[in-house]
Every structure is written in structure tokens, then in C-alpha cells.
Amino acid sequence: MRRLIVLVAILIIMLAVISAFSNYLPQISNFLPGVTTPQFTNEKVKIVTEESVVIDAVKKVGPSVVTIVEERTVQSLRQFEFGPFSIFGVPGGEEQQSVNIGSGFIVTKDGLIVTNKHVVSDREVKYQIITSNDKKYQVQKIYRDPLNDVALIKIEPSENPGNTLKTVEIGDSSRLQVGQFVIAIGTALGEFKNTVTTGVISGLGRGITAGDEFAGYVERLDNVIQTSAAINPGNSGGPLLNSSAQVIGVNTAVASGGQNIGFALPINVIKDSIKNFNETGQFNRPFLGVEYKMISRDLALLNEVPEGALVQNVVTDSSADKAEIKSGDIITKIDGKKVQAGGNELAKIISEKKVGDTMSITIWRDGKTLEFKVTLQTAPNS
């Protein structure tokens, strides 16, 4: 009992000393410049967790994410009754069929939407946009970037009077780091609108092939973002966000045969495209006019050819065609700099040039080294 009384007394004395000492802390700090005292206010402190970051980002960006619908005319089937039996498969009239095929996000209030070029590659069909609040808009125009898997879709906001289009905030993909937390939003599997997944940036500067080989559309993309955030068919064209709810990438592809391996185009590529488009009304890009495949050093040694870009096809009336570059040529140097797989690749070199620039191109053809002067033309808008 005595021990308890002693402990209580000591505790009371300690509290009294602490209370008295705290009253003198500001005065003490005046005499000790190197000592700072904590400042206590009545302001509310918000505890930030991964969960709250995702919730806030989805609330902010979700209304800007749209679903892209393909409207296709198909042949309907008529059913005939014959006694107790039914005969199916007799061709009838034509009917409209709508299929959700991808995602996009709104970048301007006057109706400019970013998506992937491969999502809207079919020129024989009509497209429709459905916003997160189920408002429908007919696509007025599609502008496809000839050098990147990017397309800008234009809709008319007046189609739904009173419905305000909410735009996203664009971030900076040049400052990304491996391990950084990211959020992906899109219409997963063409069915589940505004599906949210999270992950990290797994790699930077990757090279992939995007598109659909069976549909006849594939494209080599360099310098893309690899992420562990789940990206499914239908997510293509949707935004990849950082923890500040800024768009830092455009979800583009998922690795076949792999789990939690998705890819996104860096948003800075899209920023350049939008700026280019706003200034010229089109994608005013330098264009060499070749389809190619990069030959790595190992592959070059194996086949006893030089490292570089193997020309597989030359576009008629392009800069390359006018310079008489041919299929089977290997582009080894441009302006004296080596063309190398995984580093100084052909697409990267061309993207750094301007329309009208003249380049010196070194070609390897049938064991001979040739030099060509090529003036870059404007890429055809597709």
C-alpha cells in the first residue's frame, strides 16, 4: 500500500514538473537558438494511406475516363418454325451491334479524348463514347498519330447539354522511378467500366509490340513503362496514374503468357502529340517511310551482317522511296551515329528530327556500304 502511494506521488510530481517546464519552453528557445520547440495547433491532421490515395485518385479521375464503343453493322438471323422444330441460321436483315472495345480519358473541355491508335484502327466502323455517368457521344473525328500508338478522338459536348466534361491532370513521365506506386483505370474486358487496379512501375524504357497480329495491325513501341498493375483487354487507352492522381501513362498492352505484366506509353509522348495537334490541326511528324526490324549485335554476328535496322518495306513516294532505299537494306548509321537495338533505335532518331531535315543515312546492301541523303517529309495522317 505504501509503495502504491509513493508511486502515485512520484507520478503527480513528474506531471507537475512537465507542465511547468512546457510553459517555459518558448523562453528557453529564445536563449538557445539551436533548440526548436514543437508547435501545437487545433488543425486536423490527415493520415495518408495507400487506400486513401487510391480512393482520392479514383474520385478525381474516374469521371474523366470513358469507354470506347464500336458500332458495327452485322447480318441478323431469322428463325423459322416448322412443326415442333425450329430452323435457325437463315439470313435476315442488317442490324447494329455495339461492342465496348477500349478506354480513353478526356483532356480538354471541348471534347478531345486520348486513347490508343490500335483501339480505333478500323476505319470501316463508327465509334461512340460513353462517359462514366452513362452519357453517350458520337465520335466526330479521329486523328491517328503515324509514329506512336496514340489517337485523339473529338466529340461534341453540345450533344448532351448540361453535362460538363471533366478533364484529367497531366503529369510528367520523365521523373518516374522503378518501384513507384501507380493506379490504372479502364473498362476491363470491355465489360467492367472504371475498373481500378494498383501496382508499381516494374521497369522503364521497355520495348514491346502492341496491337493484334490476327487483325493485321502490330506496331513496335520503344521506351514504354512496364507496370504490375493489372491491365486487361479493354483497358487499352485508359490512364495510368501516380499517387497524386496525375496521368503519367496511357495503358497500352498486356504481355501474353505473363501475369501482372502490363505496359503504358509515357504521358510526355502524348503531351507532345497534343501540343503538335493544337498547333497544326494534325500530327505534323517527320516521316522516313520504312517498316523495319532492329538487328541486335548477337543476331548480327550470327547472320554475318552489321547491326542496325533491317528495312522490311518501303512506303511508296516516301522520303526513303525517293532516296531509293530498298527492302533488305540495313540502316547502320544516321548522321554518323550508329543505329543500335535497345538504345539508339531508328524510331527514336527520327522522332528527334523535324520535317524538312536532311539526314545522311549509311546503308549496308549486299556486302557494300552506301551513303544516301534523305529529306524527311511530313507523315501522312492516317
What DSSP string runs through 285-344? -EE--EEEEEE-HHHHHHHT--SEEEEEEE-TTSHHHHTT--TT-EEEEETTEEP-TTSS
User: 372: closest CA among 284, 290, 283?
Assistant: 290
User: 231: closest CA among 132, 107, 113, 103?
Assistant: 103
Global pTM reads: 0.62
- The residues facing 74 across adjacent strands are 95
Q: Which of 64, 103, 121, 149 is catalytic?
A: 149
Burial class from Cβ neighbours inside 10 Å (0-12, 13-18, 19+) for residue 124 reads exposed
The alpha-carbon radius of gyration of the chain (Å, integer) is 30
Q: List all residues 6 or more positions away from 221 whose beta carbon is below 8 Å from its beta carbon.
A: 148, 149, 207, 208, 209, 210, 252, 253, 263, 265
- In tens digits, what is the pLDDT along the chain, a chain of 382 residues? 677 676 767 777 776 666 655 555 445 444 444 444 444 444 444 445 667 888 888 899 999 999 999 887 666 555 555 555 555 555 656 666 778 788 999 998 989 999 988 888 888 888 999 998 999 999 998 888 766 788 899 999 999 988 889 999 999 988 888 989 999 998 877 677 878 888 898 888 776 655 443 333 445 566 788 888 888 777 888 999 998 899 999 998 765 555 667 888 899 888 877 777 777 666 667 888 888 888 888 888 888 899 999 998 888 888 899 999 999 999 999 998 899 887 778 877 887 788 888 999 999 999 999 999 999 887 765 5
Which grid cell sits at 359? 539526314
The span from the CA of 69 to the CA of 52, in Å, is 31
Q: Which of 64, 103, 118, 202 is catalytic?
A: 118
Which grid cell sits at 203? 521497369
Pair 150, 117: CB distance under 8 Å: yes
Distances (CA, A) of 109 to 143, 279, 314: 17, 17, 40
Determine whether 149 is an active site residue.
yes
Pair 332, 308: CB distance under 8 Å: yes
Q: What is the pLDDT of residue 51?
A: 76
Q: What is the pLDDT of residue 84?
A: 53
Q: Which of 121, 202, 236, 318 is catalytic?
A: 236
User: 240: closest CA among 258, 223, 257, 227?
Assistant: 227
Domain boundaries, the chain: 62-78+87-159, 173-280, 286-378
Pair 114, 277: CB distance under 8 Å: no
Determine whether 118 is an active site residue.
yes
Instruction: Looking at the structure, give the CATH architecture of the domain made up of residues 286-378.
Output: Roll (2.30)
The span from the CA of 231 to the CA of 116, in Å, is 14
Burial class from Cβ neighbours inside 10 Å (0-12, 13-18, 19+) for residue 208 reads middle
CATH topology of domain 62-78+87-159: Thrombin, subunit H (2.40.10)
3-state secondary structure of 9: helix
Instruction: Looking at the structure, give the CATH architecture of the domain made up of residues 173-280.
Output: Beta Barrel (2.40)
Q: What is the pLDDT of residue 262?
A: 83
For the sheet with 141-144, list strands across it: 136-138, 126-130, 65-82, 85-108, 112-115, 151-154, 141-144
Distances (CA, A) of 355 to 84, 172, 291, 334: 71, 26, 19, 16
User: 230: closest CA among 251, 207, 249?
Assistant: 251
One fold for 62-78+87-159 and 173-280:
yes
Query: Which residue has cell 507520478?
Result: 11
- Counting DSSP H helices and E strands in the chain, the numbers are 6, 21
The span from the CA of 18 to the CA of 13, in Å, is 9
Determine whether 145 is an active site residue.
no
Q: What is the pLDDT of residue 30?
A: 47
Strands 358-365 and 368-375 turn out to be antiparallel
Element (H, E) at 276: helix 267-280
Distances (CA, A) of 110 to 281, 293, 315: 14, 39, 35
Q: What is the pLDDT of residue 115?
A: 92
Residue type, 41: T
- The residues facing 144 across adjacent strands are 151
Q: What is the pLDDT of residue 212?
A: 42
